[in-house]
Amino acid sequence: MNTGAEPRLIEPVADDRYAVAVRSTAEGQRLARQLSALPGCIDAVGGIAVVECRFDIAAVAADRFLGDLERAVRQHTNAAEKNTEPQGRRHTLTVRYGGEDGPDLDAVARHLGISADELIASHAKAEHRVALLGFTPGFAYLDGAGFDREVPRRQEPRQFVAAGSVGVAGRRSGVYALPGPGGWQIIGRTDAVLFDPSEEDAFLLAPGDTVVFRPVER
């Protein structure tokens, strides 16, 4: 899909779902919320470059749903041209870089051709925007790792990554809200409470939020 062209491309990806191209993850999240309210829509999920909308094919005809979908996308486009993007929350997360909390820090620094201290300074200086949650519950994909080169994923994913771990892959950072497997290069860990089931919003980070990492001593 060409995500920079207008109008957006709407393509069938199955009998009961369509994919809509978007220009940014933030736009995709906003559009997904709007499409979720369409009659017959079962769910709409925003990704990095597309929104996938699944509908109840037994309750609404595909051509009728496609017409509703196209109108909703046009309305969204017109509204977006008139309004500025809403601001999410801003979070400052303290991070212990390197050592047991960031076992891949030195390897990533070598790949980038900089020292570990330079990597930490660059990563902590950047403002990271939460693009979307996925992979595992609450895992936050962050735009802007602060590097000018892509960082490869680990050749062998770990079977266990601790909650609060901060990883990098490509030109993104990622924060693990829950423990589990993962293949990102782990450079640090935060003690921030990223998942609290007693809260209405159980996960601390949400799409559109801004994250700044502050280094602390191990």
24 with 99, same domain?
Answer: no
Both 63 and 105 in a single domain? no
Last residue of a domain, one of 82, 105, 137: 82
User: How far from chain centre, in Å, is Cα 98?
Assistant: 24
Domain count, the chain: 2
| Residue entry with tokens 């979070």 | 91
Residue 143 domain boundaries: 90-215
Q: What pLDDT digit, counting tens, does each position of 182-217 carry? A: 999 999 999 999 999 998 889 999 888 999 999 998
Last residue in a domain, options 52, 82, 112 = 82
Residue 88 makes CB contacts below 8 A (sequence gap 6+) with 130, 206, 207, 208, 209, 210
> pLDDT, tens digit, for every residue of 132-174?
888 888 999 998 777 888 999 999 999 999 999 999 999 899 9
Same domain, yes or no, for 200 and 141? Answer: yes
The answer to whether residue 22 is domain-embedded is: yes
Residues 120 and 205 occupy one common structural domain: yes
| Spatial strand order in the sheet of 10-14 | 10-14, 17-21, 50-55, 41-46
Does residue 127 share a domain with residue 150? yes
